[in-house]
């Protein structure tokens, strides 16, 4: 079963699942997960077809965010005039790639994990009941339920910016062959990090109900992860690298693609992300035991 498993009670049949049982085995769980996600995608498109202007507004909203982000760094690097300023060792061209990774991470988050904004309120109102009676991991069923077509659109914009940024980097820094394996690896690391970071700052809500702590930590994590870790003081950088591994969101993927990492570190760091995922999942399960249908 996936690491997101929280052991919900059995329920109706799903593809690859015996009636009354959770999916067993990795292949069965994957088939089941994909089937559920397909439904979430379908429902996401149906939902958005009701609010077509809102779809455009949300695309524009994220583009505004990207534009403000890009302009900020263009202005900051431009302050040096003819001198080539760097940010913690990141040149202007490398920073554009970093921003590309941030946009891809944001796009993935907005596309699949938008429901997390409602977690505190849903806990308070007891809205997890209908999720918990379904077969399968509660966290997956809950957090992935709000597929966002506008998020997907912005993910494509983010990919476009990343391609533009990579084209602007000197060829000796990024070889096409390296990109062939580094980009898919980077995408997997971003997705993995986003899911478990999201889970980590939402678990707080089990103890501090509807407190907005989850939102604050989310903002904290996102804001810190949107800048290269080298800009932070040593202790803060290490926390963001190893304790709350925000580095997986953009720093590690961008560094991997740009060849800024030692091979040993590049191979070893995913273990930190895996250990973090296991820990967060355990805490989430413990938190879920506190759920009492109506908590506030």
Partner 1 sequence: MTSAALRAPALLLRAVAYEFRKRIQFRAGFFVREVLNGTVEPLVMLFVYTALYGSAAAIAGPGAGPGAGPGAGPGAGSEVGSDPGSDPGAAAVALGGWTYPEIIQYVAGLVVVRKLIFHSRALDLATEIFEGRVTKYLVMPFRFFVLHQGRFLQFTLMQVVVAGLVWLIGYAVAPDHWLVPVSAAATLQAGTLVLMGSYCCFLIFFTLNAMAFWLDVVWSLLVMAWFVIGFTGGALVPVSQMPAAFYGVLSFGFPYWMITAPIELLMGRLGTEDFLFGAALVAVQLVALEVLRRWVWRRGLARYVGAGM
284, containing H or E segment: helix 263-288
Nearer residue to partner 1 within complex by CB, 118 or 132: 118
Cβ proximity of 157 and 66 under 8 Å: yes
DSSP 241: I
> What is the footprint of partner 1 within residues 205-264 (CB under 8 A)?
208-213, 215-216, 219-220, 223-224, 226-238, 241, 251, 255, 260-262
CB of 246 to partner 1, least distance (A): 11
Q: Which two tokens stand for residue 167?
A: 């084209």
The piece of 6-14, 30-38, 66-74, 193-201 that touches partner 1 (CB under 8 A) is 66-74
Nearer residue to partner 1 within complex by CB, 84 or 163: 84
Instruction: Decide if residue 68 touches partner 1 (CB under 8 A).
Output: yes
- The DSSP string of 120-139 is HHHHHHTTTHHHHTSSS-HH
Number of residues that bind partner 1 (CB under 8 A): 60
Q: What's the gap between Cα 72 and its chain centre? A: 23
Question: Three-state SS string across 254-275, please?
Answer: HHHHCCCCCHHHHHHHHHHHHH
> What is the footprint of partner 1 within residues 32-51 (CB under 8 A)?
51
Instruction: Decide if residue 265 touches partner 1 (CB under 8 A).
Output: yes
Q: Which two tokens stand for residue 193?
A: 């990090």
Cβ proximity of 62 and 91 under 8 Å: no
Nearer residue to partner 1 within complex by CB, 140 or 224: 224
The piece of 21-29, 58-66, 153-161, 181-189 that touches partner 1 (CB under 8 A) is 58-66
- Which phi and psi (to 5°) does residue 29 adopt? -65, -40
Which residues bind to partner 1, rule: CB under 8 A?
A: 51, 53-54, 57-58, 60-61, 64-65, 68, 71-72, 75-76, 78-80, 83-90, 208-213, 215-216, 219-220, 223-224, 226-238, 241, 251, 255, 260-262, 265-266, 269, 296
């Amino acid at each position: 079963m996936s690491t997101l498993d929280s052991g919900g009670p059995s329920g109706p049949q799903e593809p690859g699942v015996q009636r009354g049982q959770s999916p067993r085995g990795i292949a069965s769980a994957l088939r089941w997960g994909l089937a559920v996600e397909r439904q979430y995608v379908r429902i996401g498109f149906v939902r958005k077809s009701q609010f077509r202007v809102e779809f455009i507004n949300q695309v524009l909203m994220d583009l505004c965010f990207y534009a403000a982000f890009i302009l900020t760094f263009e202005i900051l690097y431009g302050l040096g005039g003819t001198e080539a300023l760097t940010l913690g060792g990141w040149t202007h061209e490398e920073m554009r790639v970093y921003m590309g990774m941030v946009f891809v991470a944001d796009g993935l988050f907005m596309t699949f994990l938008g429901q997390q904004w409602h977690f505190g309120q849903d806990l308070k109102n007891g809205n997890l009941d209908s999720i918990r009676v379904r077969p399968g991991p509660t966290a997956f069923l809950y957090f992935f339920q709000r597929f966002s077509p506008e998020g997907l659109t912005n993910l494509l914009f983010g990919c476009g910016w990343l391609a533009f940024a990579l084209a602007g980097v000197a060829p000796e820094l990024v070889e096409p062959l390296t990109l062939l394996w580094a980009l898919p690896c980077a995408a997997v690391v971003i997705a993995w990090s986003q899911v478990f970071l999201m889970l980590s700052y939402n678990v707080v809500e089990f103890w501090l109900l509807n407190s907005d702590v989850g939102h604050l930590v989310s903002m904290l994590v996102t804001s810190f992860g949107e800048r290269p870790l080298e800009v932070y003081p040593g202790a803060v950088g290490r926390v963001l690298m190893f304790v709350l591994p925000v580095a997986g969101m953009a720093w590690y993927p961008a560094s991997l693609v740009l060849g800024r990492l030692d091979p040993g570190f590049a191979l070893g760091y995913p273990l930190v992300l895996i250990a973090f995922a296991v820990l967060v999942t355990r805490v989430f399960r413990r938190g879920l035991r506190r759920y009492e249908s109506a908590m506030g």
